[in-house]
């Protein structure tokens, strides 16, 4: 029996050390970045209005974001709004706060597995269109389809978006999103600029668009130390054009907007695609003033599964082991890997109390792609006046975003000083640096939040409750370090039987879910 106990302990200790050290190798804050004596609840500092929606940007130069090495934006896509395809140099975690939609990724080297309209169907549709147009076009179109391929359209997999989903987006993978629901689609996006995948600027994220003429989201926040470098780059480009005997066919335009095609020579671009220069100019979108979210007037018609339940049935057919970690992730390829998980479902909670609330964690065990992104997430719900036990994160910074309701949050630094003691409301963010102690208590209306964490398997240690650091110490030690009697130490140690979420004392234990 003793040998068995020893083996279990060693196994548990080994797993804990692997999880703890998994994120220690990646450097984030530079020296003194996290010497924080005051934290504040942050709201967006910049808003960019587009034709089909709004982009809100938090100040990436704020000390809290510089300490954690991340930045956050929030997009609101209106009905029939299409977010232009783009990618960043750092990985992203995307939380769908509200609404429904679809999204497409352009993963390098992956096949086009979504197909529509066979040759016969395309020929028949062409016939019908030709007859309606007063001329016979069906034969040419049908034959053209037959020569070019079996299907009229082929593209990579389209994924459904719905409230509560978290999407993991690898660095450099372009993606677009479309709101096909009846309400605005709201997404909160964390960009990990300090990730090892990002070899560009570690302070300011860079987004590269494949279409349109959108304004750069973080351009105004780069600061003076970037302006000098931009002027130098512009001077070098001008000298380059002069050596070539003139400017490019686009006029050598320099601005803080545009897409990846904008700076190419139009003629060369046309030759690269095998199209006319007029179409190449459309790619460059110099006169496009719609912004990064455009409206699709008659709705977007693409090949996609009929509903979200299609994907869920597909996942279940592959077996439940793919979700709960009995797979090691090697069986998945990047083309077929699951990139999302819904963390709003109460039935999937990892911690649940009928009187206090629930807590759901998302890490590399239930979403293996996170092991490559080195990020994780947590969704929490506190009922009215309930408390999440005081705790600290062992191996990650925690970026807390208020989803609904309000809570009083207290954060304490290494010197024992309170650096934050305020309410966090819906739409606000506060960063809890690694090892800073934090406690949350919901107000009368309850509180919901999502936390992005800078480690694929983030761990936290509670300071009160059944699995806390206090509970792990002998009563005699507690009595001496706090200068209290043994009876008081015993009460301090055993008064709370819960693990993480505490019901409110003397409140009648009235449960209250926040209305979605």
In angstroms, rounded to a whole number, what is the distance separating the alpha carbons of residues 500 and 32? 32
Helix spans in 244-307 (H): 266-273, 277-284
Q: What is the pLDDT, as a whole number, of residue 325?
A: 43
* Helix or strand run (H / E) with residue 147: helix 138-148
Nearest Cα residue to 401 out of 172, 95, 28: 95
In angstroms, rounded to a whole number, what is the distance separating the alpha carbons of residues 138 and 189? 46
Residues of the chain short of pLDDT 50, as ranges, are: 1-18, 25, 118-120, 122-123, 133-151, 224-232, 235-236, 239-253, 319-331, 508-516
In angstroms, rounded to a whole number, what is the distance separating the alpha carbons of residues 504 and 385? 6
250 C-beta neighbours (distance < 10 Å), count: 18
Q: What is the pLDDT, as a whole number, of residue 201?
A: 82
Nearest Cα residue to 383 out of 446, 450, 425: 446
In angstroms, rounded to a whole number, what is the distance separating the alpha carbons of residues 405 and 390? 20
Q: What is the pLDDT, as a whole number, of residue 204?
A: 84
In angstroms, rounded to a whole number, what is the distance separating the alpha carbons of residues 265 and 247? 9
Task: Name the pTM for this structure.
Answer: 0.80
């Amino acid at each position: 029996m003793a040998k068995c106990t020893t083996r279990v302990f060693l196994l548990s200790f080994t797993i804990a050390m692997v999880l703890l050290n998994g994120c220690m190798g990646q450097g984030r804050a530079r020296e003194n970045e996290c010497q924080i004596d005051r934290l504040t609840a942050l709201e967006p500092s910049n808003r960019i209005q587009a034709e089909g929606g709004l982009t809100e940007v938090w100040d990436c130069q704020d000390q809290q974001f510089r300490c954690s090495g991340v930045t956050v934006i929030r997009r609101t896509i209106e009905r029939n709004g299409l977010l232009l395809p783009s990618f960043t140099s750092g990985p992203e975690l995307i939380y769908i706060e509200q609404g429904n939609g679809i999204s497409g990724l352009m993963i390098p080297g992956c096949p086009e597995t979504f197909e529509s309209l066979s040759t016969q169907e395309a020929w028949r549709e062409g016939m019908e269109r030709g007859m309606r147009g007063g001329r016979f076009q069906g034969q040419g179109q049908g034959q053209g389809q037959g020569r070019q391929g079996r299907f009229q359209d082929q593209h990579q997999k389209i994924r459904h978006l719905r409230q509560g989903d978290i999407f993991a987006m690898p660095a450099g993978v372009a993606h677009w999103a479309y709101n096909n629901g009846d309400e605005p689609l709201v997404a909160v996006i964390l960009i990990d600029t300090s990730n090892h995948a990002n070899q560009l600027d570690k302070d300011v994220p860079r987004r590269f668009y494949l279409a349109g003429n959108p304004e750069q989201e973080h351009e105004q926040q780069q600061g003076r130390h970037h302006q000098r470098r931009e002027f130098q780059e512009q001077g070098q480009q001008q000298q380059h054009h002069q050596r070539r005997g003139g400017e490019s066919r686009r006029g050598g335009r320099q601005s803080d907007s545009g897409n990846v095609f904008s700076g190419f020579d139009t003629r060369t671009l046309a030759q690269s695609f095998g199209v006319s220069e007029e179409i190449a100019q459309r790619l460059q979108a110099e006169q496009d003033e719609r912004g990064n979210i455009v409206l699709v007037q008659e709705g977007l018609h693409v090949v996609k599964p009929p509903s979200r339940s299609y994907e869920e049935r597909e996942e279940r057919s592959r077996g439940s082991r793919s979700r709960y970690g009995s797979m090691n992730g090697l069986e998945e390829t990047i083309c077929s890997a699951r990139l999302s998980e819904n963390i709003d479902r109460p039935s999937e909670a990892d911690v649940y109390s009928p009187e206090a609330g629930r807590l759901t964690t998302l890490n590399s065990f239930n979403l293996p792609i996170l092991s490559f992104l080195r990020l994780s997430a947590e969704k929490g719900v506190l009922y009215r006046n309930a408390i999440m036990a005081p705790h600290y994160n062992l191996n990650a910074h925690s970026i807390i975003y208020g989803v609904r309701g309000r809570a009083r949050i207290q954060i304490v630094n290494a010197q024992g000083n309170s650096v934050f003691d305020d309410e966090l409301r819906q739409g606000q963010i506060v960063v809890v640096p690694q090892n800073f102690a934090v406690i949350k208590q919901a107000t009368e209306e309850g509180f919901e939040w999502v936390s992005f964490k800078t480690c694929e398997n983030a761990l936290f240690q509670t300071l009160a409750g059944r699995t806390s650091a206090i509970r792990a110490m002998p009563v005699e030690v507690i009595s001496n370090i706090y200068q209290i009697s043994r009876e008081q130490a015993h009460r301090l140690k055993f008064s709370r039987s819960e693990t993480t979420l505490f019901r409110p004392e003397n409140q009648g234990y009235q449960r209250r879910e926040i209305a979605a």
